[in-house]
Structure 1
Protein backbone atom coordinates (compact mmCIF):
# COMPACT_ATOMS: atom_id res chain seq x y z
CA UNK A 1 0.00 0.00 0.00
CA UNK A 2 2.84 2.25 0.69
CA UNK A 3 4.12 2.02 -2.93
CA UNK A 4 0.69 2.77 -4.21
CA UNK A 5 0.43 5.91 -2.08
CA UNK A 6 3.74 7.17 -3.37
CA UNK A 7 2.64 6.68 -6.94
CA UNK A 8 -0.64 8.41 -6.27
CA UNK A 9 1.09 11.29 -4.47
CA UNK A 10 3.54 11.76 -7.28
CA UNK A 11 0.74 11.68 -9.86
CA UNK A 12 -1.31 14.15 -7.82
CA UNK A 13 1.65 16.43 -7.32
CA UNK A 14 2.52 16.34 -11.05
CA UNK A 15 -1.06 17.15 -12.04
CA UNK A 16 -1.20 20.07 -9.62
CA UNK A 17 2.08 21.37 -10.98
CA UNK A 18 0.87 21.24 -14.61
CA UNK A 19 -2.36 23.08 -13.73
CA UNK A 20 -0.45 25.72 -11.78
CA UNK A 21 1.94 26.40 -14.68
CA UNK A 22 -0.97 26.47 -17.16
CA UNK A 23 -2.95 28.99 -15.08
CA UNK A 24 0.17 31.10 -14.59
CA UNK A 25 0.87 31.21 -18.34
CA UNK A 26 -2.75 32.11 -19.11
CA UNK A 27 -2.76 34.90 -16.54
CA UNK A 28 0.50 36.29 -17.99
CA UNK A 29 -0.92 36.21 -21.54
CA UNK A 30 -4.08 38.06 -20.43
CA UNK A 31 -1.97 40.65 -18.61
CA UNK A 32 0.15 41.24 -21.73
CA UNK A 33 -2.93 41.53 -23.92
CA UNK A 34 -4.46 44.17 -21.64
CA UNK A 35 -1.25 46.20 -21.18
CA UNK A 36 -0.67 48.91 -23.82
CA UNK A 37 2.20 48.20 -26.23
CA UNK A 38 5.30 50.30 -25.73
CA UNK A 39 6.93 52.08 -28.67
CA UNK A 40 9.77 49.53 -28.79
CA UNK A 41 7.36 46.59 -28.98
CA UNK A 42 5.00 48.14 -31.49
CA UNK A 43 5.38 46.85 -35.04
CA UNK A 44 6.88 49.36 -37.45
CA UNK A 45 5.04 50.65 -40.46
CA UNK A 46 6.48 50.35 -43.96
CA UNK A 47 7.28 54.09 -44.06
CA UNK A 48 9.19 53.88 -40.77
CA UNK A 49 11.20 50.93 -42.08
CA UNK A 50 11.99 52.80 -45.30
CA UNK A 51 13.04 55.96 -43.47
CA UNK A 52 15.36 54.06 -41.12
CA UNK A 53 16.89 52.08 -43.98
CA UNK A 54 17.56 55.24 -46.02
CA UNK A 55 19.02 57.03 -43.01
CA UNK A 56 21.40 54.29 -41.85
CA UNK A 57 22.52 52.58 -45.06
CA UNK A 58 26.32 52.85 -45.51
CA UNK A 59 26.24 52.50 -49.30
CA UNK A 60 23.89 55.46 -49.58
CA UNK A 61 26.09 57.52 -47.25
CA UNK A 62 29.16 56.70 -49.36
CA UNK A 63 27.32 57.60 -52.57
CA UNK A 64 26.23 60.92 -51.02
CA UNK A 65 29.84 61.67 -50.02
CA UNK A 66 30.94 60.96 -53.62
CA UNK A 67 28.22 63.33 -54.88
CA UNK A 68 29.44 66.11 -52.56
CA UNK A 69 33.03 65.54 -53.72
CA UNK A 70 31.95 65.76 -57.37
CA UNK A 71 30.15 69.05 -56.63
CA UNK A 72 33.44 70.43 -55.29
CA UNK A 73 35.15 69.19 -58.44
CA UNK A 74 32.69 71.23 -60.54
CA UNK A 75 33.47 74.34 -58.47
CA UNK A 76 37.20 73.70 -58.84
CA UNK A 77 36.90 73.33 -62.61
CA UNK A 78 35.20 76.73 -62.86
CA UNK A 79 38.21 78.44 -61.28
CA UNK A 80 40.31 77.68 -64.38
CA UNK A 81 38.66 80.70 -66.06
CA UNK A 82 40.04 83.08 -63.43
CA UNK A 83 43.44 84.79 -63.64
CA UNK A 84 46.29 83.26 -61.71
CA UNK A 85 48.76 85.40 -59.78
CA UNK A 86 52.10 83.86 -58.83
CA UNK A 87 54.92 85.29 -56.76
CA UNK A 88 58.49 84.11 -56.89
CA UNK A 89 61.26 85.42 -54.72
CA UNK A 90 64.76 84.60 -53.62
CA UNK A 91 67.25 85.69 -51.01
CA UNK A 92 70.92 84.93 -51.18
CA UNK A 93 73.45 85.47 -48.43
CA UNK A 94 76.88 84.52 -49.74
CA UNK A 95 78.34 84.94 -46.27
CA UNK A 96 81.00 87.25 -44.90
CA UNK A 97 83.62 87.87 -47.53
CA UNK A 98 86.71 89.71 -46.55
CA UNK A 99 87.50 92.99 -48.22
CA UNK A 100 90.59 92.75 -50.34
CA UNK A 101 92.59 95.16 -52.41
CA UNK A 102 91.49 95.58 -55.96
CA UNK A 103 93.17 97.29 -58.88
CA UNK A 104 91.85 98.17 -62.31
CA UNK A 105 94.17 98.14 -65.30
CA UNK A 106 93.36 100.93 -67.70
CA UNK A 107 94.72 100.64 -71.15
CA UNK A 108 93.27 103.31 -73.35
CA UNK A 109 95.25 103.42 -76.60
CA UNK A 110 96.80 106.76 -77.25
CA UNK A 111 95.93 108.19 -73.83
CA UNK A 112 97.60 106.11 -71.17
CA UNK A 113 100.96 104.49 -71.27
CA UNK A 114 100.83 100.69 -71.37
CA UNK A 115 100.85 98.87 -68.01
CA UNK A 116 99.42 101.75 -66.02
CA UNK A 117 97.25 100.52 -63.17
CA UNK A 118 95.21 102.63 -60.86
CA UNK A 119 95.11 101.10 -57.39
CA UNK A 120 91.84 101.49 -55.63
CA UNK A 121 91.24 101.08 -51.96
CA UNK A 122 89.60 98.01 -50.54
CA UNK A 123 86.47 97.00 -52.50
CA UNK A 124 84.05 94.22 -51.74
CA UNK A 125 83.81 91.84 -54.69
CA UNK A 126 80.29 90.55 -53.85
CA UNK A 127 77.42 92.14 -51.96
CA UNK A 128 76.56 90.67 -48.60
CA UNK A 129 72.87 89.94 -49.36
CA UNK A 130 70.87 89.76 -52.56
CA UNK A 131 67.08 89.99 -52.72
CA UNK A 132 64.99 89.39 -55.80
CA UNK A 133 61.28 88.89 -56.40
CA UNK A 134 58.52 89.27 -58.91
CA UNK A 135 54.83 88.78 -59.61
CA UNK A 136 53.39 86.96 -62.60
CA UNK A 137 49.80 87.41 -63.76
CA UNK A 138 48.42 84.76 -66.11
CA UNK A 139 44.98 85.01 -67.71
CA UNK A 140 43.89 82.14 -69.93
CA UNK A 141 42.54 83.55 -73.18
CA UNK A 142 42.41 80.50 -75.41
CA UNK A 143 43.37 77.03 -74.25
CA UNK A 144 42.04 75.07 -77.21
CA UNK A 145 38.79 74.23 -75.41
CA UNK A 146 40.49 72.40 -72.53
CA UNK A 147 38.79 74.50 -69.83
CA UNK A 148 35.33 74.16 -71.38
CA UNK A 149 35.70 70.40 -71.77
CA UNK A 150 37.02 70.03 -68.22
CA UNK A 151 33.92 71.87 -66.94
CA UNK A 152 31.62 69.62 -68.97
CA UNK A 153 33.33 66.49 -67.68
CA UNK A 154 33.06 67.74 -64.09
CA UNK A 155 29.32 68.43 -64.52
CA UNK A 156 28.76 64.99 -66.08
CA UNK A 157 30.64 63.37 -63.22
CA UNK A 158 28.51 65.28 -60.71
CA UNK A 159 25.28 64.27 -62.46
CA UNK A 160 26.41 60.65 -62.52
CA UNK A 161 27.23 60.72 -58.79
CA UNK A 162 23.79 62.15 -57.95
CA UNK A 163 22.10 59.47 -60.09
CA UNK A 164 24.15 56.83 -58.25
CA UNK A 165 22.68 58.11 -54.96
CA UNK A 166 19.16 57.77 -56.38
CA UNK A 167 19.95 54.25 -57.62
CA UNK A 168 21.27 53.16 -54.21
CA UNK A 169 18.18 54.59 -52.52
CA UNK A 170 15.91 52.71 -54.94
CA UNK A 171 17.82 49.46 -54.29
CA UNK A 172 17.48 49.87 -50.52
CA UNK A 173 13.76 50.67 -50.78
CA UNK A 174 13.18 47.61 -52.98
CA UNK A 175 15.01 45.41 -50.48
CA UNK A 176 13.04 46.85 -47.55
CA UNK A 177 9.72 46.41 -49.35
CA UNK A 178 10.55 42.83 -50.22
CA UNK A 179 11.57 42.01 -46.65
CA UNK A 180 8.54 43.81 -45.18
CA UNK A 181 5.97 41.94 -47.25
CA UNK A 182 7.40 38.46 -46.58
Structure 2
Protein backbone atom coordinates (compact mmCIF):
# COMPACT_ATOMS: atom_id res chain seq x y z
CA UNK A 1 0.00 0.00 0.00
CA UNK A 2 2.82 2.38 0.86
CA UNK A 3 4.49 1.68 -2.50
CA UNK A 4 1.23 2.48 -4.33
CA UNK A 5 0.92 5.76 -2.45
CA UNK A 6 4.50 6.75 -3.22
CA UNK A 7 4.06 5.83 -6.88
CA UNK A 8 0.89 7.95 -7.13
CA UNK A 9 2.64 10.86 -5.45
CA UNK A 10 5.53 10.63 -7.92
CA UNK A 11 3.08 10.64 -10.83
CA UNK A 12 1.36 13.76 -9.47
CA UNK A 13 4.67 15.58 -9.11
CA UNK A 14 5.62 14.57 -12.65
CA UNK A 15 2.33 15.86 -14.04
CA UNK A 16 2.75 19.13 -12.14
CA UNK A 17 6.23 19.55 -13.58
CA UNK A 18 4.91 18.88 -17.08
CA UNK A 19 2.13 21.46 -16.66
CA UNK A 20 4.56 24.16 -15.58
CA UNK A 21 5.25 26.66 -18.35
CA UNK A 22 8.83 27.69 -19.01
CA UNK A 23 9.60 31.02 -20.67
CA UNK A 24 12.81 31.59 -22.59
CA UNK A 25 13.65 35.27 -22.29
CA UNK A 26 16.25 37.79 -23.29
CA UNK A 27 16.26 41.33 -21.93
CA UNK A 28 14.31 42.75 -24.88
CA UNK A 29 11.51 40.17 -24.73
CA UNK A 30 11.41 40.66 -20.96
CA UNK A 31 10.81 44.37 -21.45
CA UNK A 32 8.13 43.81 -24.09
CA UNK A 33 6.26 41.30 -21.93
CA UNK A 34 6.40 43.61 -18.91
CA UNK A 35 5.04 46.50 -20.98
CA UNK A 36 2.24 44.33 -22.33
CA UNK A 37 1.02 43.16 -18.92
CA UNK A 38 1.69 46.04 -16.53
CA UNK A 39 -1.47 47.40 -14.89
CA UNK A 40 0.04 50.79 -14.09
CA UNK A 41 0.92 51.28 -17.74
CA UNK A 42 -2.60 50.29 -18.82
CA UNK A 43 -4.02 52.81 -16.34
CA UNK A 44 -1.69 55.53 -17.68
CA UNK A 45 -2.89 54.68 -21.19
CA UNK A 46 -6.50 55.11 -20.05
CA UNK A 47 -5.60 58.48 -18.54
CA UNK A 48 -4.06 59.55 -21.85
CA UNK A 49 -7.23 58.57 -23.72
CA UNK A 50 -9.36 60.43 -21.16
CA UNK A 51 -7.20 63.52 -21.61
CA UNK A 52 -7.74 63.31 -25.38
CA UNK A 53 -11.50 63.21 -24.80
CA UNK A 54 -11.24 66.21 -22.46
CA UNK A 55 -9.40 68.05 -25.21
CA UNK A 56 -12.17 67.24 -27.69
CA UNK A 57 -14.82 68.29 -25.16
CA UNK A 58 -13.11 71.63 -24.56
CA UNK A 59 -12.97 72.28 -28.32
CA UNK A 60 -16.77 72.05 -28.46
CA UNK A 61 -16.96 75.20 -26.35
CA UNK A 62 -16.34 77.23 -29.52
CA UNK A 63 -19.37 75.76 -31.29
CA UNK A 64 -23.03 76.77 -30.86
CA UNK A 65 -25.20 74.54 -28.70
CA UNK A 66 -28.48 73.36 -30.19
CA UNK A 67 -31.33 72.16 -27.95
CA UNK A 68 -34.82 70.99 -28.73
CA UNK A 69 -37.88 71.57 -26.53
CA UNK A 70 -41.26 69.84 -26.50
CA UNK A 71 -44.11 70.09 -24.01
CA UNK A 72 -47.73 68.97 -23.84
CA UNK A 73 -50.36 70.07 -21.33
CA UNK A 74 -53.99 69.52 -20.45
CA UNK A 75 -55.80 72.24 -18.51
CA UNK A 76 -59.40 73.03 -17.66
CA UNK A 77 -61.09 75.83 -19.55
CA UNK A 78 -60.18 79.27 -18.25
CA UNK A 79 -62.52 82.26 -18.55
CA UNK A 80 -60.57 85.28 -19.65
CA UNK A 81 -63.39 87.82 -19.91
CA UNK A 82 -67.13 87.84 -19.90
CA UNK A 83 -68.44 85.44 -22.48
CA UNK A 84 -64.99 84.14 -23.49
CA UNK A 85 -62.87 81.21 -22.31
CA UNK A 86 -59.51 79.74 -23.24
CA UNK A 87 -59.49 76.02 -23.96
CA UNK A 88 -56.11 74.20 -23.56
CA UNK A 89 -57.02 70.55 -23.75
CA UNK A 90 -53.97 68.85 -25.25
CA UNK A 91 -52.02 72.02 -26.00
CA UNK A 92 -48.49 71.38 -27.20
CA UNK A 93 -45.30 73.40 -27.64
CA UNK A 94 -42.24 72.44 -29.70
CA UNK A 95 -39.17 74.45 -30.47
CA UNK A 96 -35.46 74.58 -31.10
CA UNK A 97 -32.88 76.88 -29.49
CA UNK A 98 -29.37 77.80 -30.61
CA UNK A 99 -26.91 79.46 -28.19
CA UNK A 100 -23.57 80.83 -29.36
CA UNK A 101 -21.12 82.38 -26.89
CA UNK A 102 -19.52 85.48 -28.41
CA UNK A 103 -17.20 86.53 -25.61
CA UNK A 104 -16.60 84.70 -22.32
CA UNK A 105 -13.71 86.70 -20.96
CA UNK A 106 -11.18 84.33 -22.50
CA UNK A 107 -12.43 81.34 -20.50
CA UNK A 108 -13.10 79.16 -23.55
CA UNK A 109 -9.65 79.81 -25.02
CA UNK A 110 -7.97 79.17 -21.68
CA UNK A 111 -10.03 76.02 -21.20
CA UNK A 112 -8.86 74.65 -24.54
CA UNK A 113 -5.25 75.41 -23.71
CA UNK A 114 -5.65 73.70 -20.34
CA UNK A 115 -7.12 70.64 -22.06
CA UNK A 116 -4.18 70.57 -24.50
CA UNK A 117 -1.72 70.84 -21.60
CA UNK A 118 -3.59 68.06 -19.81
CA UNK A 119 -3.23 65.81 -22.86
CA UNK A 120 0.49 66.56 -23.06
CA UNK A 121 0.87 65.83 -19.33
CA UNK A 122 -0.93 62.52 -19.75
CA UNK A 123 1.39 61.58 -22.62
CA UNK A 124 4.46 62.46 -20.54
CA UNK A 125 3.10 60.50 -17.60
CA UNK A 126 2.56 57.53 -19.92
CA UNK A 127 6.18 57.81 -21.08
CA UNK A 128 7.36 58.09 -17.49
CA UNK A 129 5.41 54.95 -16.54
CA UNK A 130 6.83 53.07 -19.53
CA UNK A 131 10.39 53.88 -18.47
CA UNK A 132 9.67 52.83 -14.89
CA UNK A 133 8.21 49.52 -16.08
CA UNK A 134 11.28 48.89 -18.24
CA UNK A 135 13.58 49.76 -15.32
CA UNK A 136 11.68 47.37 -13.03
CA UNK A 137 11.85 44.63 -15.67
CA UNK A 138 15.60 45.10 -16.13
CA UNK A 139 16.13 45.07 -12.37
CA UNK A 140 14.19 41.84 -11.91
CA UNK A 141 15.77 40.20 -14.97
CA UNK A 142 19.42 40.97 -14.17
CA UNK A 143 18.94 40.17 -10.48
CA UNK A 144 17.53 36.76 -11.41
CA UNK A 145 20.52 36.12 -13.67
CA UNK A 146 22.93 37.31 -10.98
CA UNK A 147 21.53 34.98 -8.33
CA UNK A 148 21.49 32.11 -10.86
CA UNK A 149 25.18 32.67 -11.57
CA UNK A 150 25.91 32.66 -7.84
CA UNK A 151 24.11 29.34 -7.53
CA UNK A 152 26.23 27.85 -10.31
CA UNK A 153 29.36 29.33 -8.74
CA UNK A 154 28.53 27.77 -5.37
CA UNK A 155 27.83 24.45 -7.08
CA UNK A 156 31.32 24.65 -8.62
CA UNK A 157 32.73 25.56 -5.20
CA UNK A 158 30.94 22.56 -3.71
CA UNK A 159 32.43 20.32 -6.40
CA UNK A 160 35.92 21.60 -5.56
CA UNK A 161 35.37 20.91 -1.87
CA UNK A 162 34.02 17.44 -2.59
CA UNK A 163 37.17 16.69 -4.57
CA UNK A 164 39.39 17.84 -1.69
CA UNK A 165 37.30 15.80 0.73
CA UNK A 166 37.85 12.65 -1.32
CA UNK A 167 41.59 13.35 -1.47
CA UNK A 168 41.77 13.70 2.33
CA UNK A 169 39.69 10.57 2.84
CA UNK A 170 42.07 8.59 0.61
CA UNK A 171 45.07 10.00 2.42
CA UNK A 172 43.49 9.26 5.81
CA UNK A 173 42.70 5.67 4.82
CA UNK A 174 46.33 5.25 3.76
CA UNK A 175 47.51 6.56 7.13
CA UNK A 176 48.95 9.73 5.60
CA UNK A 177 46.26 12.18 6.66
CA UNK A 178 45.03 13.92 9.79
CA UNK A 179 41.55 13.41 11.20
CA UNK A 180 41.27 17.12 11.98
CA UNK A 181 41.68 17.98 8.29
CA UNK A 182 38.68 15.85 7.40
CA UNK A 183 36.60 17.51 10.11
CA UNK A 184 37.56 20.95 8.82
CA UNK A 185 36.59 20.02 5.27
CA UNK A 186 33.24 18.59 6.34
CA UNK A 187 32.54 21.76 8.31
CA UNK A 188 33.35 23.76 5.20
CA UNK A 189 31.08 21.49 3.14
CA UNK A 190 28.22 22.14 5.57
CA UNK A 191 28.83 25.87 5.26
CA UNK A 192 28.82 25.68 1.45
CA UNK A 193 25.66 23.56 1.52
CA UNK A 194 23.97 26.22 3.65
CA UNK A 195 25.07 29.00 1.30
CA UNK A 196 23.94 26.99 -1.71
CA UNK A 197 20.51 26.31 -0.22
CA UNK A 198 20.15 29.96 0.70
CA UNK A 199 21.12 31.01 -2.84
CA UNK A 200 18.62 28.57 -4.36
CA UNK A 201 15.86 29.95 -2.16
CA UNK A 202 16.86 33.45 -3.23
CA UNK A 203 16.78 32.35 -6.87
CA UNK A 204 13.20 31.14 -6.49
CA UNK A 205 12.19 34.42 -4.86
CA UNK A 206 13.80 36.30 -7.75
CA UNK A 207 11.84 34.11 -10.16
CA UNK A 208 8.61 35.00 -8.37
CA UNK A 209 9.49 38.71 -8.54
CA UNK A 210 10.25 38.41 -12.26
CA UNK A 211 6.98 36.55 -12.91
CA UNK A 212 5.13 39.35 -11.12
CA UNK A 213 6.81 41.99 -13.28
CA UNK A 214 6.00 40.01 -16.42
CA UNK A 215 2.38 39.44 -15.38
CA UNK A 216 2.80 35.66 -15.59
CA UNK A 217 1.57 32.91 -13.24
CA UNK A 218 3.87 32.52 -10.25
CA UNK A 219 4.65 28.88 -11.08
CA UNK A 220 6.10 29.85 -14.49
CA UNK A 221 9.66 28.74 -15.07
CA UNK A 222 12.17 31.28 -16.41
CA UNK A 223 15.02 30.38 -18.77
CA UNK A 224 17.14 33.50 -19.44
CA UNK A 225 19.33 33.52 -22.53
CA UNK A 226 21.75 36.11 -21.13
CA UNK A 227 23.53 33.68 -18.82
CA UNK A 228 26.85 35.45 -19.40
CA UNK A 229 26.85 39.17 -18.74
CA UNK A 230 28.60 40.86 -21.64
CA UNK A 231 29.79 44.31 -20.62
CA UNK A 232 31.38 46.90 -22.89
CA UNK A 233 33.07 50.15 -22.01
CA UNK A 234 30.59 53.02 -21.60
CA UNK A 235 30.25 55.31 -24.59
CA UNK A 236 30.33 59.08 -24.37
CA UNK A 237 27.69 60.10 -21.84
CA UNK A 238 26.09 63.44 -21.09
CA UNK A 239 23.94 64.83 -18.31
CA UNK A 240 21.25 66.39 -20.48
CA UNK A 241 17.84 66.02 -18.78
CA UNK A 242 15.73 67.81 -21.40
CA UNK A 243 14.08 64.50 -22.35
CA UNK A 244 13.03 63.63 -18.79
CA UNK A 245 9.23 63.32 -18.56
CA UNK A 246 9.40 64.58 -14.97
CA UNK A 247 10.92 67.85 -16.22
CA UNK A 248 8.27 68.15 -18.92
CA UNK A 249 5.52 67.59 -16.34
CA UNK A 250 6.92 70.38 -14.16
CA UNK A 251 7.06 72.73 -17.15
CA UNK A 252 3.49 71.84 -18.10
CA UNK A 253 2.42 72.60 -14.55
CA UNK A 254 3.76 76.14 -14.95
CA UNK A 255 1.89 76.51 -18.26
CA UNK A 256 -1.30 75.21 -16.65
CA UNK A 257 -0.96 77.68 -13.78
CA UNK A 258 -0.68 80.53 -16.30
CA UNK A 259 -3.94 79.45 -17.91
CA UNK A 260 -5.61 79.15 -14.51
CA UNK A 261 -4.93 82.86 -13.99
CA UNK A 262 -6.78 83.59 -17.23
CA UNK A 263 -9.64 81.36 -16.13
CA UNK A 264 -9.92 83.24 -12.83
CA UNK A 265 -9.71 86.63 -14.60
CA UNK A 266 -12.52 85.62 -16.96
CA UNK A 267 -14.93 85.52 -14.02
CA UNK A 268 -14.60 89.30 -13.52
CA UNK A 269 -14.94 90.20 -17.22
CA UNK A 270 -18.18 90.73 -19.18
CA UNK A 271 -19.72 87.81 -21.04
CA UNK A 272 -21.68 88.16 -24.25
CA UNK A 273 -23.88 85.51 -25.81
CA UNK A 274 -26.22 85.19 -28.77
CA UNK A 275 -29.32 83.00 -28.69
CA UNK A 276 -31.93 82.27 -31.31
CA UNK A 277 -34.76 79.84 -31.77
CA UNK A 278 -38.15 78.95 -33.11
CA UNK A 279 -41.19 77.96 -30.99
CA UNK A 280 -44.33 76.43 -32.39
CA UNK A 281 -47.52 76.08 -30.34
CA UNK A 282 -50.83 74.47 -31.24
CA UNK A 283 -54.24 73.13 -30.12
CA UNK A 284 -55.16 76.29 -28.24
CA UNK A 285 -58.81 77.33 -28.73
CA UNK A 286 -60.62 80.51 -27.84
CA UNK A 287 -64.38 80.02 -27.38
CA UNK A 288 -66.94 82.80 -26.86
CA UNK A 289 -69.81 84.67 -28.32
CA UNK A 290 -70.40 88.05 -29.90
CA UNK A 291 -73.50 90.03 -30.73
CA UNK A 292 -74.73 90.85 -34.19
CA UNK A 293 -76.45 94.06 -35.22
CA UNK A 294 -79.74 92.69 -33.98
CA UNK A 295 -78.36 92.10 -30.52
CA UNK A 296 -78.39 88.33 -30.86
CA UNK A 297 -75.53 86.30 -29.34
CA UNK A 298 -73.47 84.56 -31.99
CA UNK A 299 -71.04 81.84 -30.69
CA UNK A 300 -67.58 81.60 -32.21
CA UNK A 301 -64.45 79.46 -31.82
CA UNK A 302 -60.92 80.27 -32.91
CA UNK A 303 -57.90 77.92 -33.00
CA UNK A 304 -54.49 79.31 -32.21
CA UNK A 305 -51.68 77.47 -34.05
CA UNK A 306 -48.59 79.48 -34.88
CA UNK A 307 -44.83 79.75 -34.57
CA UNK A 308 -42.55 82.40 -33.10
CA UNK A 309 -39.01 83.30 -34.15
CA UNK A 310 -36.79 84.82 -31.51
CA UNK A 311 -33.27 86.28 -31.41
CA UNK A 312 -31.62 87.47 -28.18
CA UNK A 313 -28.32 89.01 -27.24
CA UNK A 314 -27.28 88.71 -23.59
CA UNK A 315 -24.66 90.74 -21.75
CA UNK A 316 -23.55 89.79 -18.26
CA UNK A 317 -21.33 92.28 -16.41
CA UNK A 318 -20.07 91.38 -12.91
CA UNK A 319 -20.45 94.57 -10.90
CA UNK A 320 -19.84 93.90 -7.23
CA UNK A 321 -19.00 90.52 -5.68
CA UNK A 322 -17.09 91.76 -2.63
CA UNK A 323 -13.73 91.29 -4.36
CA UNK A 324 -14.19 87.53 -4.81
CA UNK A 325 -12.97 87.48 -8.41
CA UNK A 326 -9.86 89.56 -7.74
CA UNK A 327 -8.89 87.35 -4.81
CA UNK A 328 -9.20 84.28 -7.06
CA UNK A 329 -6.83 85.93 -9.53
CA UNK A 330 -4.31 86.64 -6.75
CA UNK A 331 -4.58 83.05 -5.55
CA UNK A 332 -3.96 81.75 -9.08
CA UNK A 333 -0.86 83.96 -9.36
CA UNK A 334 0.49 82.49 -6.12
CA UNK A 335 -0.10 79.00 -7.55
CA UNK A 336 1.92 80.02 -10.60
CA UNK A 337 4.78 81.23 -8.41
CA UNK A 338 4.71 77.94 -6.48
CA UNK A 339 4.81 75.97 -9.75
CA UNK A 340 7.85 77.95 -10.90
CA UNK A 341 9.60 77.33 -7.58
CA UNK A 342 8.88 73.58 -7.89
CA UNK A 343 10.33 73.61 -11.39
CA UNK A 344 13.46 75.44 -10.23
CA UNK A 345 14.00 73.12 -7.26
CA UNK A 346 13.31 69.82 -9.01
CA UNK A 347 15.31 70.77 -12.09
CA UNK A 348 18.39 70.91 -9.88
CA UNK A 349 17.52 67.57 -8.29
CA UNK A 350 17.04 65.95 -11.70
CA UNK A 351 20.40 67.31 -12.84
CA UNK A 352 22.06 65.86 -9.73
CA UNK A 353 20.37 62.53 -10.39
CA UNK A 354 21.63 62.49 -13.98
CA UNK A 355 25.16 63.37 -12.90
CA UNK A 356 25.10 60.62 -10.28
CA UNK A 357 23.88 58.15 -12.91
CA UNK A 358 26.79 59.04 -15.21
CA UNK A 359 29.24 58.66 -12.33
CA UNK A 360 27.74 55.31 -11.36
CA UNK A 361 28.19 53.92 -14.87
CA UNK A 362 31.81 55.06 -14.96
CA UNK A 363 32.59 53.72 -11.49
CA UNK A 364 30.68 50.52 -12.21
CA UNK A 365 32.87 49.73 -15.21
CA UNK A 366 36.00 50.34 -13.14
CA UNK A 367 34.67 47.96 -10.51
CA UNK A 368 34.24 45.31 -13.21
CA UNK A 369 37.83 45.77 -14.35
CA UNK A 370 39.03 45.43 -10.74
CA UNK A 371 36.83 42.38 -10.16
CA UNK A 372 38.06 40.72 -13.39
CA UNK A 373 41.66 41.25 -12.32
CA UNK A 374 40.83 39.77 -8.93
CA UNK A 375 39.23 36.74 -10.59
CA UNK A 376 42.26 36.16 -12.79
CA UNK A 377 44.56 36.29 -9.79
CA UNK A 378 42.26 34.08 -7.69
CA UNK A 379 42.02 31.50 -10.51
CA UNK A 380 45.78 31.32 -10.82
CA UNK A 381 46.27 31.19 -7.05
CA UNK A 382 43.76 28.36 -6.74
CA UNK A 383 45.38 26.40 -9.57
CA UNK A 384 48.80 26.75 -7.95
CA UNK A 385 47.53 25.75 -4.51
CA UNK A 386 45.69 22.73 -5.88
CA UNK A 387 48.87 21.50 -7.59
CA UNK A 388 50.96 22.15 -4.49
CA UNK A 389 48.46 20.42 -2.22
CA UNK A 390 48.40 17.34 -4.46
CA UNK A 391 52.18 17.26 -4.18
CA UNK A 392 52.10 17.90 -0.40
CA UNK A 393 53.87 21.24 -0.81
CA UNK A 394 51.28 23.31 1.09
CA UNK A 395 48.87 22.86 3.96
CA UNK A 396 45.14 22.31 3.81
CA UNK A 397 44.69 25.77 5.29
CA UNK A 398 46.45 27.32 2.30
CA UNK A 399 44.18 25.43 -0.09
CA UNK A 400 41.00 26.39 1.78
CA UNK A 401 42.09 30.01 1.83
CA UNK A 402 42.69 29.92 -1.92
CA UNK A 403 39.26 28.42 -2.50
CA UNK A 404 37.61 31.07 -0.29
CA UNK A 405 39.44 33.81 -2.18
CA UNK A 406 38.26 32.29 -5.47
CA UNK A 407 34.66 32.22 -4.24
CA UNK A 408 34.83 35.84 -3.09
CA UNK A 409 36.42 36.99 -6.36
CA UNK A 410 33.75 35.24 -8.42
CA UNK A 411 31.02 36.71 -6.25
CA UNK A 412 32.51 40.20 -6.62
CA UNK A 413 32.62 39.88 -10.41
CA UNK A 414 28.99 38.73 -10.60
CA UNK A 415 27.85 41.61 -8.41
CA UNK A 416 29.91 44.17 -10.32
CA UNK A 417 28.61 43.03 -13.72
CA UNK A 418 25.00 42.94 -12.51
CA UNK A 419 25.24 46.34 -10.89
CA UNK A 420 26.73 47.78 -14.08
CA UNK A 421 23.73 46.56 -16.07
CA UNK A 422 21.41 48.22 -13.57
CA UNK A 423 23.49 51.41 -13.69
CA UNK A 424 23.14 51.46 -17.49
CA UNK A 425 19.36 51.24 -17.22
CA UNK A 426 19.26 53.89 -14.52
CA UNK A 427 21.40 56.24 -16.63
CA UNK A 428 18.99 55.92 -19.55
CA UNK A 429 16.04 56.53 -17.23
CA UNK A 430 17.71 59.51 -15.53
CA UNK A 431 18.29 61.17 -18.92
CA UNK A 432 14.84 60.27 -20.33
CA UNK A 433 16.12 57.86 -22.98
CA UNK A 434 14.86 54.52 -21.66
CA UNK A 435 12.46 53.50 -24.44
Q: How does 1:69-108 map to 2 (within 5 A)?
A: 69-94=50-75, 104=82
Q: How does 1:17-36 map to 2 (within 5 A)?
A: none
Counterpart of 1:178 in structure 2 is 139
Following TM superposition, the consecutive aligned residue runs of length 4 or more in structure 1 with deviations greater than 4 angstroms are none
Shift in alpha-carbon separation, 1:42–1:130, aligned structure 2, 3 A:
closer
**What is the DSSP-based 3-state SS (H/G/I as helix, E as strand, rest coil) of the residue aligned with 1:144?**
coil
Counterpart of 2:92 in structure 1 is 131
**What is the DSSP-based 3-state SS (H/G/I as helix, E as strand, rest coil) of the residue aligned with 2:101?**
coil
Distance in 2 of aligned mates of 1:42 and 1:160: 36
Deviates more, 1:56-65 or 1:80-89: 80-89
Distance in 1 of aligned mates of 2:103 and 2:120: 27
Counterpart of 2:108 in structure 1 is 147
TM-score by length of 1: 0.60
Distance in 2 of aligned mates of 1:83 and 1:125: 37
Distance in 2 of aligned mates of 1:170 and 1:42: 23
Higher helix share: 2
Distance in 1 of aligned mates of 2:86 and 2:24: 93
Q: Where does the alignment leave 5 or more consecutive residues of structure 1 unmatched? A: 1-39, 105-119
Distance in 1 of aligned mates of 2:54 and 2:64: 18
Deviation at 1:125, TM superposition (A): 4.8
**Does residue 54 of the first structure (1) align with residue 15 of the second (2)?**
no
Pairwise CA RMSD of aligned residues? 2.5
> Deviation per CA, 1:48-77, whole angstroms, max 9, x where unpaired?
100000000000000000100110110111
Between the two structures, name the one with larger relative contact order (CA 8 Å, sep ≥ 6).
1
